[in-house]
C-alpha cells in the first residue's frame, strides 16, 4: 500500500514511521528546510528526537494537492485543525481515501457562534471526499517507538 502522510509534526512523523515498517510511505513537510533536515538526519529532530525513520521512507516538502496524491492508496492528513481547511481545499476532487489525525475545533469564522469540527469543515470543502478520522488515547512517541497503545 502507498501512503502519503501530509504533515511532519510529531503525529505525522510517528504515524509515517509506524506505517513505513509495512508500507511504502511518503512524509510531506511544510517547508523544504524541514524536509532536508529530516532527509539528512533520517530523524525528525524537531518533534521526535532520537527516533530513526525507516530507510525506505520518503520525505517531500510543500502542500500536496489532488494531483500530487493521485498515485497513493491512502492519504493521512496530520496537520493541526487550524490547517485542515487549507489542506482539504488543496485536495479537493481527490479520489484517494483520506483520514485525518487532528481533533478540536476550527477557529471561529466571522459571524459564527462557534468553530467547526473537522467533519463539518470537510462537508463545506468537499463533501464527496471519502474521508474519516484516525484517533485514540495515545502519544506520538509511543506510536513511533512501537509501545503498546490504542488508535
Distance CA 55, CA 118 (A): 33
Q: What is the band of 149 on the pLDDT scale with cuts at 50, 70, 90? A: confident
Distance from C-alpha of 68 to C-alpha of 61, rounded to nearest angstrom: 12
Q: Give residue 124's pLDDT band: very low, low, confident or very high (50, 70, 90).
A: very high
Q: What is the mean pLDDT of residues 114-131?
A: 92
Secondary structure (3-state) at 5: strand
Please determine, for residue 104, whether its predicted confidence score (pLDDT) is greater than 90.
Answer: no
Q: What pLDDT sits at residue 109?
A: 76
Find out whether 59 and 42 touch, Cβ atoms under 8 Å: no
Model confidence at 120, pLDDT cuts 50, 70, 90, reads very high
Cell digits of residue 145: 517507538
Q: Is the pLDDT of residue 52 over 90?
A: yes
Name the CA radius of gyration of the chain, rounded: 15
- 43 forms bridges with which residues in the sheet? 52
Of 137, 17, 11, 149, residue with least CA distance to 77: 11
Is 125's pLDDT higher than 80?
Answer: yes
**What is the reported pLDDT for 150?**
67
Confidence of residue 31 (pLDDT cuts 50, 70, 90): very high
Residue of higher predicted confidence among 103 and 24: 24
Q: Averaged over 88-109, what is the pLDDT?
A: 91
pLDDT at 141: 78
Average pLDDT, the chain: 91
Amino acid at each position: 500500500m502507498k501512503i502519503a502522510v501530509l504533515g511532519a509534526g510529531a503525529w505525522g512523523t510517528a504515524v509515517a514511521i509506524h506505517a513505513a515498517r509495512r508500507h511504502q510511505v511518503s512524509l510531506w513537510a511544510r517547508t523544504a528546510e524541514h524536509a532536508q533536515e529530516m532527509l539528512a538526519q533520517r530523524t525528525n529532530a524537531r518533534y521526535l528526537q532520537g527516533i530513526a525513520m525507516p530507510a525506505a521512507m520518503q520525505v517531500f516538502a510543500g502542500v500536496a494537492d489532488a494531483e500530487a496524491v493521485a498515485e497513493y492508496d491512502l492519504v493521512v492528513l496530520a496537520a493541526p485543525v487550524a490547517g485542515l481547511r487549507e489542506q482539504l481545499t488543496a485536495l479537493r476532487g481527490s479520489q484517494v481515501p483520506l483520514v485525518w489525525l487532528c481533533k478540536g475545533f476550527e477557529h471561529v469564522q466571522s459571524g459564527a457562534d462557534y468553530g467547526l469540527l473537522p467533519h463539518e469543515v470537510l462537508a463545506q470543502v468537499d463533501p464527496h471526499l471519502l474521508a474519516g478520522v484516525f484517533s485514540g488515547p495515545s502519544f506520538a512517541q509511543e506510536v513511533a517507538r512501537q509501545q503498546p497503545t490504542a488508535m
